[in-house]
Amino acid sequence: MAKQSIQVEERFHTTRLDKLLTNLNPEESRSQIQSWIKEGFVQVNGKKAKTNYRCQQGDFIEWEIPEEEAFELRPESMDLDIRYEDEHLLVVNKPKGMVVHPAAGHSNGTLVNGLIAYTNLSDINGEFRPGIVHRLDKDTSGLMVVAKTNDTHEKLATMLKERTVKRQYQAIVHGEIEHELGTIEAPISRDPNDRKRMAVVDHGKEAITHFRVHERFPNYTHVVCDLETGRTHQIRVHFKYIGFPIVGDPKYGPRKTLNSEGQALHARRLEFTHPITMENIIVTAEAPAIFQETLKEINRWT
Q: Is 137 a catalytic residue?
A: yes
**Dist. CA 209–CA 183, nearest whole Å:** 6
**Dist. CA 184–CA 102, nearest whole Å:** 32
Residues 174, 219 contacting (CB under 8 angstroms): yes
Question: Is the four-CA dihedral 231, 237, 239, 243 of positive or negative sign?
Answer: negative
**Dist. CA 151–CA 104, nearest whole Å:** 29
Q: 3-class DSSP state for residue 108?
A: coil
**Dist. CA 131–CA 125, nearest whole Å:** 7
Quickly count: other Cβ atoms within 10 Å of residue 114's Cβ: 18
Residues 175, 161 contacting (CB under 8 angstroms): no
In eight-state DSSP terms, residue 77 is: -
**Dist. CA 300–CA 264, nearest whole Å:** 18
Q: Which residues pair with 213 in a beta bridge?
A: 223
Residues 141, 246 contacting (CB under 8 angstroms): no
CA dihedral 155, 160, 163, 164 (to 10 degrees): 50
Which among 18, 59, 137, 249 is annotated as catalytic?
A: 137
CA dihedral 218, 252, 234, 133 (to 10 degrees): -120
Q: Which residue in 215, 294, 202, 301 sits closest to 248, CA to CA?
A: 294
Residues 55, 14 contacting (CB under 8 angstroms): yes
Catalytic residues: 137
